[in-house]
Amino acid sequence: MVLFLKEPCGIFCVFLTYICVLYADYCMINHVVIPTLSNSFWGLSNVLIFNILILLLVVSHFQATTSDPGRVPLPCTSLDFSDMHQAASQVKDENKWTVCSRCETYRPPRAHHCRICRRCIRKMDHHCPWINNCVGERNQKYFVLFLIYTGLTSIHAIVLSSVSLSLPCIDCSEKYAFKTRQFFVISLILEGLLFGLFVMVILCDQFSSICNDTTAVEYVQKKGSQRNKASRNELLMEVFGKGPLYMWFLPCFAPEYSSKYDMDTSFIM
């Protein structure tokens, strides 16, 4: 199911992300590679590597933006709230399910209500305007891959742009060589530094949250995971899937999720 929230700040951030990606690709091809490396094998290889990274970045971003982060389904019929509270307290002891007063539904353990999505999200980490979606149980893999590929694209852009500044310009007029080229190359380095550092910080946060089995929401609420201690590998497999390692890095395979808390709402009836 393809989702897209109609939220102005999120739509602006998604639009800005694609503009920045297009600008970086334009600078890399037209002002880094063509003026200095167009006659060499390295030029072609670098354009290829840069565009593969951009493709992976864009697919990860698209998947993170349009995937269901783990929305808790709404009940088909409205429920009597007084009964809900009674039933919830009975269920709470055994399974730690709770009631969301805003969605008027039951939600599984570790689900939280997002005010922007206006829904409860399973294992919600945070709402990210850059993907205009929540980061939750079902799209965290895509979000982490988006950060990884943005980081790698930034590193590649910074290194190659810095090297190209020290190379002579092939067939460039003096005016182009000293003004236009430097403007685009330096702006690409600054863009790489800005986004590179930004995603590195969030990436460290994401891995710490995955390995400690505590989402950002739970960290703020000072709730640790109430599950039995799982190994780091098991926690990573929950996010990236149980398949071989190379599939962890491909943004086209959704991991299989535990159906432990799939909406078994039979007890509501």
Per-position DSSP letters for 53-113, written without gaps between them: HHHHHHHHHHHHHHS---BPPPPSSPPPHHHHHHHHHHHHHHH--EEETTTTEEE-TT-EE
Least distance in Å: CB of 226 to Zn ion?
A: 20
Q: Pick between residue 114 and residue 189 the one whose CB is nearest to Zn ion.
A: 114
Least distance in Å: CB of 103 to Zn ion?
A: 3
Does the annotation mark 128 as catalytic?
Answer: yes
Query: How many residues in the chain?
Result: 269
Most distant pair of Cα atoms in the chain: their distance: 79
Q: Please name the amino acid found at residue 226.
A: Q
Q: Pick between residue 28 and residue 134 the one whose CB is nearest to Zn ion.
A: 134
For the CA atoms of 127, 2, 150, 250, the dihedral, rounded to the nearest 10 degrees, stands at 120
Q: Which residue has the tokens 């002579």?
A: 168
CA separation for the pair 67, 246 (Å, rounded): 21
Out of 27, 103, 114, 128, the active site residue is 128
Q: Pick between residue 88 and residue 170 the one whose CB is nearest to Zn ion.
A: 88
Least distance in Å: CB of 78 to Zn ion?
A: 14
Q: Pick between residue 47 and residue 134 the one whose CB is nearest to Zn ion.
A: 134
Contact call for residues 188 and 161 (beta carbons, < 8 A): yes
Q: In the structure encoding, which two tokens stand for residue 18, read together?
A: 């694609």
Spell 87-99 as b/e; 16+ CB within 10 A means b.
Answer: bbeebeeeeebbb
Least distance in Å: CB of 7 to Zn ion?
A: 9
Least distance in Å: CB of 113 to Zn ion?
A: 3
Q: Pick between residue 132 and residue 153 the one whose CB is nearest to Zn ion.
A: 132
Binding site for Zn ion (CB under 5 A): 100, 102-103, 113-114, 116-117, 120, 127, 134
Instruction: Provide the annotated active-site residues.
Output: 128
